[in-house]
A and B are shown apart, each in its own frame.
Chain A
Amino acid sequence: MAEILDPTVPPAAPARRAGHAARRAGSFAAVVLSAYTLAFFLLYALPSDPVALMLERRSSGAGGASPERIAALREAHGLDDPLLLRYLTTLGRLLTGDLGTSFQSGRPVPEVLAAVAPGTLSLAAAALVIAVPFSVALALVTSWRSDGLAYRLLRHAPALIAAIPAFWLGLLLLRLFSFTLGWVPSSGGEGLAGLVLPAVALALPVSAALAAVLVRSLDDVRQAPFVELLTARGLPWRRVYLAHVARNALLPFVTLAGLTVGGVLVGTVITETVFARAGLGRLLASSVETQDAPVILAITVLAALVFATVNLAVDLLYPLLDPRLRRENGGAPA
């Protein structure tokens, strides 16, 4: 910290910047690789046999699959190779873009993912579009004055919202807006009408966390000496609050907003199930149920990629928000 604030330190050297970028890229790769490795060993180290499970589900107990046939199918899926070999060949295939085929449906994994991914992307985007402005607005209104009515009323709203189970919230929204009022369809992801409720259900818990962090951070900054100084110099509170307090309080919020992308993706598992929407979350849930390893691996790696990319973007955003970080190596922000 002392170094960063030291005015004698020269502006960022290009070499350092390159080093920084390389380190970031390295940690990006490490995150994705670890996610893959962890998912792979968890999946394949499980004692169950995905081929037997597939046949079981297809026949729903009618039987008829002989051990020889199970063995032949296992071989066809490469399940008999040593674990480490499979780990490496699967990794090699993933790197060349070959995601394999689903155990359950026999369809290529990219095809399976492509069929449902747009639904999840639009849902996640809609949820973020709701969550970020809503949480910022809620936090700004809450922290306007530490002794105001809004502060007293709204300070605990985020905790309350966060305490509502996403599942219940979804059912409640459905009950009110679909079944009682009949404003929007209860299922199906077509058009904006079908997107509103699930996006709200997904956005609310996320907004709660974001708002809570921002309120806390606004409260902290508001007590900083420079705020008192600015106020004493006669700057209107509105200006002090929005231009100085809010801006300085934004850093932790941006960090959390980045992490939230991961949270939103996780949330789609429940939201998509309740609202009967097709999507990656539901696909993941059903694939876990059937131990459809290629699909689970692909979704895991995809999620890790998205998560790592967003965090990289957030990292690159810091210097824009905080001039202090432009000077040095851009180490982790406060």
Chain B
Amino acid sequence: MTRTTRQVPLALATAATLLLAGCGGSASSTDAGDATHLRIAYGWYPTCFDYAQSNPFALFGRQVLDTLLSENPETGEIEPYLAESWETLEDGRAYEFTLREGVTFSNGEELTAQVVADNFETLRTLAEQGVSPTVDAYLRGYHHAEALDERTVRIAFDEPNAGFLQANTEGQFGIVAPESLARTPEQRCAEGTVGTGPFVLDEAVQDERVEYVRRDGYDWAPAAHGREGEAALERVTIQIVPEESVRAAGVLSGEYDVAYSITDSGLAQAEGQDGVQTVLAPDRSVVNTLVVNTADPVLADPAVRRAIQHGIDREEFVDTFYGEGVEPATDVVSRGHRFHTDRGEALAHDPDLSRSLLEEAGWRVGEDGVRVRDGQRLEVGLTFVGSDIGASTAGWEYLQSGLAEIGVALELNQVSDAEQADLRASGDWQLAVYQGASRGDADGIAAFYHTELAQWTGQAPRPEVDELLAEQATTVDPERRRQLVDEAVTILVEEGYGIPLFDSAQVLLARDSVRDLTFPVNAWEPILHRVTKD
């Protein structure tokens, strides 16, 4: 017997054993656990438990916090929460909130107007220290906050801040107890903050799990939660499970009730299995967009930008490369955003239009199919981060082939997160893939598209749009504000200042026993207060 043949039977036997183990039937459903204990599998341990300092870990920060106001998920109306009523004064230069009575923090401290005023003063300090960039953006024009009496607090601005009421529905403005206000930013990150919310942080074991327990006596939920009084769940465990397949398998076997961040591979695992459901958590943000560097000599030409806008078949792109929860973009923002308008027409795939736009602008097809004008080839580089969820290189290659058909050569440039942060600051980029932060206000659009606020620096100023976006930020009248935003976005889309691509929702896997898992604020903030388990 030769050496090779002797190896074969052994290898086969072992492989068979391993495969059997791998395909070992459907997972046996272990005990679904107690109905008052929700177990969530989540991929990342938070680097910071203080919501004001850290957006990405909203799931953790939000459960212990309440905000002054809430937003009705259906109508987009601002509704009472910790504040019973509120007033916009001096055209948005001042806001007065009247607080609900009888609210206490989980450490026993009372919610008073002075505490709320101190909260805003502290947020301002955090913003000044540079540890809360988002809060800094929300507090634009902030002057000071003061308690007018025991229950009334007044926040004054140097210039109107039209987005301020909406900002008070976001977790960054969650009201924290005096005990937490006295902490340093580092302590707040490490320990989390004490809030008035329906859950209390019980235990955090780094890289392993975070445990919350129900806040006894909680009685100030907003109408949007659809539940009064204490949470139905007594305990919530967020187990940190970095591997998606393990998260999904854990839900299938009943070890977890909910798994976050599931892609096609996790959904494939769940296919045909009983007892599990897919839950979509829509976001409300500026959608995944090709950011355009209008200072670049090639992209400064409006014809090139418009040609790219119409040179992409968003429907096919999404159908081919993305799974459940991803839709082609119909506006610069997600469908669930308060300022969403259907602009499907303006974003329609029309390669003939693209070609004629380029022809008119003097871009002629060269020998290799790439257009040329005055010796300049129509080449643009696309920077993307390889680790973006769902955004595979193949998808960008599809985009590349689509644009090749209209004579635009797209060069793909895959970078790391760190490289992207550098590129963005340097201004040395052409096209990039980027999704805006989750904010259901028009200020989120301004933060993305106003050339002075935009994260991708180096874009040529566009005075007309910049002025509209600045004006809406100080316009309190809702109709007028909406009109200004619409005008601005129409120009943004028509001029191709941004190329909206797709709108992605978070996909979760949950056991059927989990009820009322909803995401009124954003994809990362389920309202666990209202969740029940059968």
The chain A residues found within 8 Å of chain B, CB to CB, are: 46-50, 52-53, 55-65, 69-70, 72-73, 101, 104-107, 112, 115-116, 152-153, 156-157, 160, 164, 171-172, 174-176, 178-182, 185-189, 272-279, 282-283, 286, 289-291
Inter-chain residue pair count (beta carbon < 8 A): 194
Q: Does B478 contact A (CB under 8 A)?
A: no
* Chain B residue nearest in CB terms to A76: B130
Q: Which residues in A have their C-beta under 8 angstroms from that of B130?
A: 55, 65, 69-70, 72-73
In this complex, the member of B18, B243, B437 whose beta carbon has the largest number of chain A beta carbons within 10 angstroms is B243
Known: A52-B422, A116-B207, A179-B27. A273 touches B243 (CB 8 A): yes
Choose among A105, A115, A178, A272 the residue that contacts B253 (Cβ–Cβ < 8 A).
A178
In the complex, A279 Cα to B462 Cα: how many Å? 50
Known: A60-B56, A106-B186, A273-B243. A186 touches B255 (CB 8 A): yes
* Chain A residue nearest in CB terms to B29: A182
In the complex, A273 Cα to B209 Cα: how many Å? 14
Asked if B7 contacts A156 (CB within 8 A), the reply is: yes
Known: A58-B131, A70-B130, A180-B28. A276 touches B245 (CB 8 A): no
Asked if B418 contacts A156 (CB within 8 A), the reply is: no
Q: Does B47 contact A (CB under 8 A)?
A: yes
Question: Which residues of chain B from 1 to 49 have a CB within 8 Å of any chain A CB?
Answer: 6-7, 10-11, 14, 18, 21-22, 24-25, 27-28, 30, 41, 44-45, 47-48
**How far, in Å, is A298 (CB) from chain B's closest CB?**
15
In the complex, A290 Cα to B48 Cα: how many Å? 14
Known: A112-B206, A160-B14, A174-B246. A62 touches B447 (CB 8 A): yes
Q: Which residues in B have their C-beta under 8 angstroms from that of A185?
A: 255
Asked if B206 contacts A115 (CB within 8 A), the reply is: yes
**How far, in Å, is A168 (CB) from chain B's closest CB?**
9
In the complex, A156 Cα to B245 Cα: how many Å? 31
Choose among A56, A180, A186 the residue that contacts B246 (Cβ–Cβ < 8 A).
A186
**How far, in Å, is B498 (CB) from chain A's closest CB?**
14
Asked if B455 contacts A179 (CB within 8 A), the reply is: no
* Chain A residue nearest in CB terms to B55: A60
Q: Does B249 contact A (CB under 8 A)?
A: yes
Choose among B7, B242, B437 the residue that contacts A63 (Cβ–Cβ < 8 A).
B437
7 contacts between A and B (CB under 8 A): A58-B55, A62-B444, A64-B133, A64-B135, A174-B249, A186-B255, A286-B45
Choose among B10, B22, B28, B45 the residue that contacts A182 (Cβ–Cβ < 8 A).
B28
Q: Which residues in A have their C-beta under 8 angstroms from that of B11?
A: 156, 160
Asked if B7 contacts A58 (CB within 8 A), the reply is: no
Asked if B419 contacts A47 (CB within 8 A), the reply is: yes
Asked if B437 contacts A62 (CB within 8 A), the reply is: yes
Question: Which residues of chain B from 419 to 463 have a CB within 8 Å of any chain A CB?
Answer: 419, 421-422, 425, 434-439, 444, 447, 453-455
Asked if A278 contacts B207 (CB within 8 A), the reply is: yes
Asked if A61 contacts B437 (CB within 8 A), the reply is: yes
Q: Does B476 contact A (CB under 8 A)?
A: no
In the complex, A282 Cα to B240 Cα: how many Å? 12
Asked if A172 contacts B22 (CB within 8 A), the reply is: yes
In this complex, the member of A62, A160, A185, A272 whose beta carbon has the largest number of chain B beta carbons within 10 angstroms is A62
Asked if A64 contacts B208 (CB within 8 A), the reply is: no
Asked if A55 contacts B133 (CB within 8 A), the reply is: yes
Question: Which residues of chain B from 119 to 153 have a CB within 8 Å of any chain A CB?
Answer: 127, 130-137
In this complex, the member of A57, A176, A179, A188 whose beta carbon has the largest number of chain B beta carbons within 10 angstroms is A179
Asked if B239 contacts A276 (CB within 8 A), the reply is: yes
**How far, in Å, is A198 (CB) from chain B's closest CB?**
12
Q: Which residues in B have their C-beta under 8 angstroms from that of A164?
A: 18
In the complex, A187 Cα to B425 Cα: how many Å? 40
Known: A62-B437, A106-B185, A179-B249. A48 touches B419 (CB 8 A): yes
Choose among A53, A62, A181 the residue that contacts B134 (Cβ–Cβ < 8 A).
A62
Asked if B206 contacts A116 (CB within 8 A), the reply is: yes
Q: Which residues in B have their C-beta under 8 angstroms from that of A156?
A: 7, 10-11
The 5 closest A-B pairs by CB, nearest first: A62-B437, A48-B418, A278-B207, A69-B130, A64-B137
Q: Which residues in A have their C-beta under 8 angstroms from that of B409?
A: none
Choose among A160, A175, A282 the residue that contacts B22 (Cβ–Cβ < 8 A).
A175
Q: Which residues in B have their C-beta under 8 angstroms from that of A182?
A: 28, 30, 253
Asked if B24 contacts A180 (CB within 8 A), the reply is: yes
Q: Which residues in B have their C-beta under 8 angstroms from that of A290?
A: 47, 417
Identify 16 new A-B residue pairs, CB closer than 8 A, beyond the known A160-B11, A276-B243: A53-B417, A58-B53, A63-B437, A63-B453, A104-B47, A156-B10, A160-B14, A171-B245, A172-B22, A175-B249, A176-B21, A180-B24, A182-B28, A186-B253, A274-B246, A276-B242
Q: Does B182 contact A (CB under 8 A)?
A: no
Asked if A187 contacts B207 (CB within 8 A), the reply is: no
**How far, in Å, is B261 (CB) from chain A's closest CB?**
14
In the complex, A58 Cα to B56 Cα: how many Å? 6
In the complex, A282 Cα to B30 Cα: how many Å? 28
In the complex, A310 Cα to B454 Cα: how many Å? 52
Q: Which residues in A have their C-beta under 8 angstroms from that of B136?
A: 64-65
In the complex, A130 Cα to B422 Cα: how many Å? 46
